[in-house]
Structure formats: C-alpha cells, structure tokens
C-alpha cells in the first residue's frame, strides 16, 4: 500500500512537470511569433530591404505601405529613398507634388506610368519646383510633368551636379509659368540631358531666357521629340544654351512655334552646336533677331562667341525683327559653317551676320 501511494505521488509530479513544460513551450512559440510579426511590421514601415520595383499612388501610404502594387507608397520621395541602386518607380495615377522631390543619391532610376495610360506629376504649390535631380541617372518614360499653368518661381525639372537625365518617348513637360528664375520647363546645370521623343511644350520663362529649356555648363542631345509653343522674355524661346564650351547636338526632332526677343528657336551664348538632322521652323524673335537661331551675345559690353555647324536638317519659315530670320550671328567672332543643311523661306532673311 505504501509503495502504491508513492507511485501515485510520482505520477502526479510527472503530470505537473509535463503541464509546466507545455506552458513554457507555448509561451516560447507565442513570443517568437510576435517577434516575427514585429519584424515584418518594421520591414513594411521602414523598408529595410531596398526594392527594384516600387509603386506610388495618391491613395497609397508612406506609413503602412510597402511600395508594392497592392500596397503602394503615397509619395515619390518615399519611393525614391526606398529604392535600390537601380530601380523602376511606377506611378499608378496622377500625383500632386506640394514639395520639391529631390533625387540626390547615386541611383539609376526609371520613372514611368504603371500602365499604357500616361499619368501626371502635377504642380501643387506655386513656389516649388517639382523635381530636382542632383545625382545619379534618371530616365523618364510615359509620364507627364505638368505645371497646370500656375505661376511659380522655378522650372518644373532641374538637373545639376553631373546628373544624367533621359527624357524618353511618352514624356511631356508642360504648362509651367516661371516668373522669377530662368527656364520655363527645364533647367540643367553641370549635367547631361538626352531627349528621345519627349515633348517640352507650353512653358513660359518670364524672369529670363529659355522658355522651354535653359542650360549652363551642360551637354544636351536631341535625338527626337518636340520643343514647341514656349515663350521667354529673355533669349531663347525654345532653348537658351549658355556656358562656355557647352555642346548642343541635334540629330532629329522638331523645334517650332517658340517666341522670344532673340533666338526664337535657340539662343547659343558662348556655346557650340552641331545639327545633324531635325527641323527648326515657325519660331519668332520679336526684338533683336535670330528667328531660328541666334549665335553669340553681348555680355558686359564684351562679345561672347559661339559656333554652329549645320550638317543636315531644315531651318525654315522663321521670323525675326529686324533681321536674321533664319540664323543671326550677333558678333563677328561667332562662326557658322553649313555642310549640307537647308535654310530657306525665313523672314526677312535666311542668314544675317552682324557688321557684315
């Protein structure tokens, strides 16, 4: 009987040990799962792991979003900062930009609409530029950057500090009114831009030159696309190209129906241009010449030279007051060489050389 009671006590003790062990096991499992869930939440909110494909939507969230198609971010800035060294950012609908988005990391980014329907980045506040690219390489495809004809102090897109910018087919930069800074649509400095089918249209620079584009110490290549219906109060209705040693290469595309005081289509100030193709037409210089192109300028009473080599393409139907309907050399140290380009039907003349 004594031995039997001892065995029952031992069994009771064993059961107690088993129950305690099970409770401990369950506690460990629950705690581990909670830690795992916490880690997931941290990853979702902080995006610890950079992504190669990110999505942005006006209906998304920077706090709870993951940058995925199902759970997109709300802002372009969040997507850029969360992107890997090389990534594509998909814009899912129209986004209103109220604060300048800065691309300042050495990343290779493609910015595009999610589907074949082209979405827009829209100017919100009047005193902000939309995008400032100061590092890396950024390619725009099937996206519209729209100032919505709001009066502002900056261009819509600014590049600098050796950034590389590619404006590809389906990209449009439009409807900006820059009251103070020069450059209605695009302003690039110490950087490189290539236009492959993009449009820069309906922009105004009311504080200086470059209705469509203004450059300074930059390289610009136009392979195809359109720069049209831009206006500036200074030189360069379509493009003002400035900075000693800069190079503008036009292989194709159309520069048309831009207007300014000098250089309706293009104003080349102390810069070099090679035209291998394309068309410059129906531009207007309404004060001091160069309906199609004006070469050189006077700065602080000193002549500044530029050069233009015209290999192929057309400069036609441009108008200037009082001279240089097609091409105007504003000083005797600028050079123009025609190696096969066509200049015709400009008013009042095709080529005018100052002091000639």
Query: Where do the structural domains in the chain lie, given as residue ranges?
Result: 1-46
Please, what is the average pLDDT of the chain?
87
pLDDT at 351: 96
Is residue 324's pLDDT more than 60?
Answer: yes
Q: For position 181, what pLDDT does the model report? A: 74
Quickly state the pLDDT bin for 316 (edges 50, 70, 90).
Answer: very high
Give the pLDDT of residue 31: 47
Summarised one tens digit per residue, pLDDT across range 93-150 is 999 999 999 999 999 999 999 988 899 999 987 777 899 999 999 999 999 999 999 8
Structure confidence at residue 51 as a pLDDT band (50, 70, 90): confident
Three-state SS annotation for 262-320: CCCCEEEECCEEEECCCEEECCEECCCCCCCEEECEEECCEEECCEEEECCCEEECCEE
25 confidence band (pLDDT: 50, 70, 90): low
> For residue 245, is pLDDT > 50?
yes
| Planar angle of CA 76, 78, 80, nearest 5 degrees | 70
Mean of pLDDT values over 208-231: 95
Q: Report pLDDT for 70.
A: 96
Residue 4 has pLDDT above 50, yes or no: no
Question: Closest by alpha carbon to 229, among 196, 249, 268, 255?
Answer: 255
Tokens of 200: 């820069």
Backbone φ and ψ of 134, nearest 5°: -120, 10
pLDDT tens, residue by residue, 264-286: 999 998 789 999 999 999 999 99
What pLDDT band is residue 23 in, cutting at 50, 70 and 90? low
DSSP structural state of residue 45: H
Report pTM.
Answer: 0.85
| Half-sphere CA count of 216, side-chain side, radius 13 A | 10
- How much is the pLDDT for 288? 86
Greater confidence (126 vs 20) lies with 126
| 77-91 mean pLDDT | 97
pLDDT band at 32 (very low <50, low <70, confident <90, very high): very low
pLDDT bin (cut points 50, 70, 90) of residue 315 is: very high
Percent of the chain with pLDDT over 70: 83
Scan for tokens 């025609």, then name that residue. 338
């Amino acid at each position: 009987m004594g031995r039997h009671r001892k065995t029952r006590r031992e069994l009771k003790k064993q059961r107690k040990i088993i129950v305690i062990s099970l409770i401990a096991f369950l506690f460990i499992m629950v705690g581990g799962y909670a830690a795992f869930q916490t880690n997931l939440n941290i990853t979702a909110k902080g995006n610890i792991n950079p992504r190669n494909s990110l999505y942005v939507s006006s209906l998304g969230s920077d706090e709870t979003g993951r940058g995925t198609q199902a759970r997109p971010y709300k802002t372009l800035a969040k997507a850029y900062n969360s992107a890997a060294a090389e990534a594509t950012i998909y814009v899912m609908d129209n986004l209103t930009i109220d604060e300048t988005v800065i691309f300042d990391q050495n990343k290779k980014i493609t910015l595009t609409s999610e589907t074949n329907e082209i979405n827009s980045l829209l100017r919100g506040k009047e005193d902000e530029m939309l995008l400032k690219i100061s590092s890396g390489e950024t390619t725009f495809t099937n996206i519209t950057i729209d100032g919505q004809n709001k009066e502002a102090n900056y261009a819509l897109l600014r590049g600098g500090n050796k950034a590389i910018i590619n404006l590809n087919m389906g990209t449009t930069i439009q409807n900006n009114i820059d009251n103070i800074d020069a450059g209605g649509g695009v302003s690039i400095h110490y950087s490189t831009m290539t236009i492959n089918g993009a449009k820069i249209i309906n922009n105004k620079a009311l504080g200086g030159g470059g209705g469509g584009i203004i450059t300074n110490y930059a390289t610009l290549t136009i392979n195809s696309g359109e720069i049209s219906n831009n206006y500036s109060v200074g030189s360069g209705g379509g493009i003002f190209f400035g900075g000693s040693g800069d190079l503008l290469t036009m292989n194709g595309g159309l520069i048309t129906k831009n207007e300014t005081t000098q250089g309706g289509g293009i104003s080349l100030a102390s810069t070099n241009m090679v035209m291998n193709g394309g068309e410059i037409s129906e531009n207007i210089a309404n004060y001091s010449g160069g309906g199609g192109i004006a070469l050189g300028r006077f700065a602080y009473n000193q002549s500044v030279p530029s050069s233009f080599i015209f290999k192929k393409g057309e400069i036609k139907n441009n108008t200037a007051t009082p001279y240089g309907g097609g091409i105007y050399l504003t000083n005797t140290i600028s050079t123009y060489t025609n190696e096969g380009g066509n200049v015709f039907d400009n008013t009042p003349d095709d080529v005018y050389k100052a002091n000639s």
